[in-house]
Amino acid sequence: MTGNQTGYGFAKDLKLTGRFDAGTKNTAFAPSPRKLRLGIAAAMPVSAGFWDIGVQAYKESNYNGIVGKSVSFDLAPALVSAWAIPVGGVGTFSGFIDIVGPKGKDGFGAKTKTETLARAKFMFDVMGPKSDLTAGVGIEYWRNKFGCNNSTAFVKNSCTATTPLLLVEYKL
């Protein structure tokens, strides 16, 4: 923001962040999420790639087709981190962690829980470091998915997902 090249204590730069997500699905639940995030992030001093850590204000609204009503969740804090670090000329270790605090009550009237979504992957440079083709493995972990509470969920352990990933990416 300031063009300052000396950094800010522990961080090499600070930035304002904003994000808006919207979607819909043609299912019985008929979700129509709208998510707004505003915050600040610190760029950590890594020798290559990037690593950002931030805090955001998170506001979500959605539709619950099962009970037929729109839901406006409470404003919640979010802690976020994202990174992509090149490793020894063979690939890149990258991912993110997203922790969103309780958002109030969901469309069924249940109190939401703090949710954690994390994805980490290692992508190998298939044709060398300058190639646009990468392949790799990763894992995604989502605890209290959508703020759901495992202890009160209709289907036990339905609020947590651990998903192994096999990935191929080509940059156009």
Please state the pTM of the whole predicted model: 0.85
- Structural domain that includes position 101: 13-170
Residue 37 lies in a domain: yes
Give the phi and the psi of residue 147 in degrees, each rounded to 5. 85, 0
User: How does pLDDT run across 69-91, given as a tens digit for each residue?
Assistant: 899 999 999 999 999 999 988 99
Position 168 scores a pLDDT of: 96
Query: Does residue 156 lie within any of the structural domains?
Result: yes
Domain total for the chain?
1
Burial 115-142 (b: 16+ CB within 10 A, else e): bbbebbbbbebeeeeeeeebebebeeeb
Q: Is residue 1 part of a domain?
A: no
| Residue 49 within a domain | yes
pLDDT tens digits, residue range 86-113?
998 899 999 999 999 999 998 888 899 9
